[in-house]
Amino acid sequence: MKQPKDKLAASAKVGEKGQIVIPKEMREMFSIKPGDTIVLLADEKRGIAIPPKSLFNAFIEKVNNLMEDGEDDG
């Protein structure tokens, strides 16, 4: 079975300190570099997700805009 270029599957072991290593191919796919901060989202029913930085950046921009809009109400 041929794997699509825009999809990957991998496994990672959890170390004694709870650390995991994101496989190289996935780090490259999402341009994750050493020192980057990533966001983890968790849901007991759906599992753990690591959204791409672009999604997180868009979320932060929306939060900042909402906070700026609310400053006039004070």
DSSP readout, 41-55?
A: EEETTTEEE---HHH
- The answer to whether residue 54 is domain-embedded is yes
- The answer to whether residue 16 is domain-embedded is no
Dihedral pair phi/psi, residue 32, rounded to 5°: -90, 120
The residue segments making up the domain with residue 67 are 24-73
The encoded tokens of residue 6 equal 């825009």
pLDDT tens-place values along the chain, 74 residues long: 677 788 899 999 999 999 999 999 999 998 999 998 888 889 999 999 988 877 878 888 888 888 888 765 55
**Under 8 Å between Cβ of 53 and 47:** no
- Say what the pLDDT of residue 22 is: 94
Dihedral pair phi/psi, residue 8, rounded to 5°: -135, 155
- The answer to whether residue 18 is domain-embedded is no
- The answer to whether residue 9 is domain-embedded is no
- Number of domains forming the structure of the chain: 1
CB-CB neighbours of 53 under 10 Å: 15
